[in-house]
């Protein structure tokens, strides 16, 4: 387990990139291609795995992209059911 408060010093390359230490990536299950969110907290940069959040209801978890928005499966199914009701009642 990674000890809290542990610091690693890394040098930025010419494009402003840094390499995350292998042991930290393995411990946190961060693989190549993982989306990362970068936040500013006073004078610190905070890196965390990006969370997929539904644009409609705000829930976290599995989403599908629709018109450049992340939508959860429940909201997609709700929209389909509402459309089915319109068709069957209309």
Question: How many alpha carbons fall within 13 Å on the CB side of residue 25?
Answer: 12
* Domain-wise residue ranges, the chain: 1-50, 52-90
Q: What is the pLDDT of residues 33-90, one digit of tens each?
A: 888 889 999 999 988 888 888 999 988 888 888 888 889 999 999 988 877 666 666 5
Torsion angle, alpha carbons of 3, 16, 32, 29, to 10: 20
> What average pLDDT does range 15-35 have in this prediction?
90
CA angle 43, 48, 51 (to 5 degrees): 130
3-class secondary-structure state, position 70: strand
| pLDDT of 19 over the 90 cut | yes
* pTM of the full structure: 0.53
**What per-residue confidence (pLDDT) applies to 11?**
94
Q: How far apart are CA 66 and CA 73, in angstroms?
A: 11
Contact of 34 with 26, CB cutoff 8 Å: no
CA dist 20 and 2 (Å) reads 13
Q: Which fold has domain 1-50?
A: Pemi-like Protein 1; Chain: D (2.10.260)
pLDDT at position 1: 66
């Amino acid at each position: 387990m990674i000890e809290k408060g542990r610091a690693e010093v890394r040098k930025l390359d010419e494009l402003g990139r840094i390499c995350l230490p292998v042991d930290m990536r393995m411990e946190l299950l961060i693989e190549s291609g993982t989306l990362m969110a970068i936040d500013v907290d006073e004078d610190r940069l905070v890196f965390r795995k990006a969370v997929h959040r539904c644009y409609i209801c705000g829930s976290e978890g599995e989403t599908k992209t629709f018109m450049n928005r992340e939508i959860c499966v429940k909201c997609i199914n709700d929209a389909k059911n509402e459309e089915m009701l319109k068709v069957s009642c209309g």
